[in-house]
Chains A and B, each alone.
Chain A
Amino acid sequence: MTGPDAGAPDRAVADRLAEVVRDEHGRVLSVLIRELRDFDLAEDALADAVAEALPAWTRDGIPDRPGGWLLTVARRRGIDRMRRADAARRAVAKLDLPGVEPAAEDVIVVEPESAVVDERLRLMFTCCHPALSVEAQIALTLRTIAGLTAGEIARAFLVSEAAMERRLGRARAKIRDANIPYRIPPDHQLPDRLGAVLHVIELVFNEGYLPAIGDALVHDALCEEAIRLARVLLELVPDEAEAMGLLALLEVQHARRRTRVDATGALVTLEHQDRARWDHAAIAAGATTVETALRRGTPGRYQLQAAIAALHGTAATWGDTDWPQIAALYGELLRLRPTPVVALNRAVAVAMAQGPEAGLALLAELDDALAGYHLLHATRGELSLRAGRAADAVAAFDRALESVTNETERAHLVRRRAEAANA
């Protein structure tokens, strides 16, 4: 304890507490879950400790190891709660069920703090277990690892707090009733299960990265949460090249967030973004991370996507971009993930490297798979325009407008269609 801090104003203590909760929530909760063997109880106990922290820290000063303080207090409160529940059971037993022996006092071995290992990885695998729906995986990961409240998660995903509480409650009940294990998966399952964790982090980021839907601050916070989760994961599995790839990808994407929409909220495509306003330090960090990852010789989708993003991020201008290299990386990505959307991106890169006609030829192969996808038509519009076929461009932008849902993107397409019509 730092005793002399006793007179610290509430505000400073509250800020520090919020910071500690963000940094330590996952670590403390995962230890509690393992010790108390009950998700709900662990969460309640940690909530008790957080509630006690503000008055206690204001009175006694901020402890030297605030995470350890929370763990110790939460552990005690968890045990108190178990005792109370046990006493309640016995009281009920006395009233209604004479003859039932009172249960023996629960014995909990409280480990010395030095023996506490990092349990967050187990918790991540539990939260991202394939027996849970992806929505539940995302919600649980944000709640337990990232320490967001149900209300914060609800706002980010545009659902009511009550609905989010129910989603979390159902997920915890399933973990308990279906006995979803709390452990690191065996080797033969590890690639799949790690992929699920990476995917959840990616989805959290994507939710935040959608342009201009809802509150921009909430969205930035979600992106930052995803990056934090990716860092924690990489800390826990430092040898996983794909975990490196994901972190690099998110860092580089996030570095460009300020330039994705203009002052009026309109979408700005990569070509027209103000590169001076990109966070070049973050891009450089991401580029270094992905280079390190790729040197391991086990390329995966996140590493490839990160490498592509880093090439964009380090190019001085749109025209200066290493398009042949990007086209090659997309080719490699397409081999790993033969999806029409990846094929679409490759077509754009090929068009930049070899000219619009080469790109348009590749787009023609995607008509069936992506008929209802506005970006296929928008891309055809752009390439047709560059190939000097304005009428084709107008028709393509019209098709794109039929299926676009995001208002920012719609405004962009309307503008491009008008420009094509005047070309």
Chain B
Amino acid sequence: MQYMLLIYSEPSPADAPPPSAEEMQAWFDYTDAMKDADVFVAGDPLHGIETATTVRVRDGQAVSTDGPFAETKEVLGGYYIVDTEDIDGALHWAERCPGAQWGSIEVRPMMAMAELAP
């Protein structure tokens, strides 16, 4: 069963230094460990919230606006999709996520679109 791990954290200030080499290594190691355990389906970090564009279609008109839909304290910074037997497997990987040390990881079971289609 697939779960998405949504990695939330407070946005880093514009003048924050880029992630250290150790921090990046922690993410690489984490991703490698997922692959070694054969649970990794997908996963990437996202560019910062300042690069977001929000699109809405109202009355047939597409309107794009700069920035996220709503102001939130914590923003989505990246995601993984893991394939584990049950929620315990997904929670295990969420606990090991480097981002869990300072942010929070939301674990959501995924529905399989193929199984929903008639």
Contact = CB atoms under 8 A, between A and B. Distances in A.
Interface of A: 97, 100, 129-131, 177-181, 185, 189
Contacts of B118: 97, 100
A131 B1 CA distance: 16
Interface stretch (B35-43, B48-56, B86-94, B97-105): B86-94
B41 to A, nearest CB: 15
Contacts of A181: 85-88
Top 8 A-B pairs, shortest CB-CB distance: A181-B86, A178-B109, A179-B86, A178-B87, A179-B1, A180-B87, A179-B87, A177-B109
Contacts of A180: 86-87
Contacts of A130: 91
Nearest to B1: A179
24 contacts: A97-B118, A100-B118, A129-B87, A130-B91, A131-B87, A131-B91, A131-B107, A177-B109, A178-B87, A178-B107, A178-B109, A179-B1, A179-B85, A179-B86, A179-B87, A179-B109, A180-B86, A180-B87, A181-B85, A181-B86, A181-B87, A181-B88, A185-B88, A189-B88
Given A97-B118, A131-B91, 13 more contacts: A100-B118, A129-B87, A130-B91, A131-B87, A178-B109, A179-B1, A179-B85, A179-B87, A179-B109, A180-B86, A181-B88, A185-B88, A189-B88
A190 to B, nearest CB: 12
B100 to A, nearest CB: 15
Interface of B: 1, 85-88, 91, 107, 109, 118
A178 B91 CA distance: 11
Contacts of A131: 87, 91, 107
A129 B88 CA distance: 9
A129 B85 CA distance: 16
Contacts of B85: 179, 181
Contacts of A100: 118
Contacts of B87: 129, 131, 178-181
A353 to B, nearest CB: 43
Contacts of A129: 87
Nearest to A181: B86
Contacts of A178: 87, 107, 109
B106 to A, nearest CB: 12
Nearest to A175: B87
Chain A CB within 10 Å — which of B1, B88, B107 has the most?
Answer: B88
A129 B90 CA distance: 14
A100 B91 CA distance: 37
A178 B111 CA distance: 10
A129 B87 CA distance: 10
Nearest to B111: A177
Nearest to A131: B87
A185 B88 CA distance: 9
B103 to A, nearest CB: 19
A288 B107 CA distance: 45
A132 to B, nearest CB: 10
Nearest to B88: A181
A46 B55 CA distance: 50
A335 B27 CA distance: 36
A400 to B, nearest CB: 37
A189 B95 CA distance: 13
A102 to B, nearest CB: 14
A100 B107 CA distance: 34
